[in-house]
Amino acid sequence: MGNSLGLLAGMGLLGMLVAIVVGIAVGALVLSVAFRLVVGYMPPYLRALAAVVLSWVATMVVALVLGLILGASMRGLVGTVVLFLVGAWAINYMLRTPTGLAIGYGKACLVQLVYMVIGFVLAVVLGLILTLVFGSMLLGLH
């Protein structure tokens, strides 16, 4: 009994690790595309990967601090705005123009907005595909 529960827990942790790694890799690709659409050139993939990781770490820290400071009623809207601004900061800090200059915080906000819109669309499409696949399996329509 104990071994099977440990095995299930390990499988769950492995699944979470794979989801995080794939999420970071896809997020860096989406960020590169958003940067290309706004700024006009594709940043190096490793820099985009570093920007995504920095953004995730910074937003986790800020979300933790906001959770301690704000009440539950204010956390949603204020948290979304603050996390948007932190993501734009990470983009402005990590991704540069071909000459090595910062793109500016305004353009970084626009890159972050395009990045979020593309991510939302991808999440909706993936959700619809998974709903169709698992819904058809549940209904026996395979």
Q: Where are the domains of the chain?
A: 44-142
pLDDT of residue 1: 53
- Judging by beta carbons within 10 Å of its beta carbon (0-12, 13-18, 19+), is residue 79 exposed, middle or buried? middle
Tell me the pLDDT tens digit for each residue of 4-51.
888 888 888 898 999 999 999 999 999 999 999 999 999 999 999 999
3-state secondary structure of 102: strand
Residue 103 has pLDDT above 70, yes or no: yes
Coil/strand/helix, residue 97: coil
Give me the count of residues in the chain. Answer: 142
- Model pLDDT, residue 57: 92
- Say if residue 115's pLDDT is above 60: yes
Place of tokens 């915080």: 105
Place of tokens 């900061």: 89
Q: Is the pLDDT of residue 141 over 70?
A: no
Mean pLDDT of 98-119: 93
Per-residue tokens: 46 = 């490793």
Instruction: Find, among 41, 36, 29, the residue nearest to 98 by Cα.
Output: 41
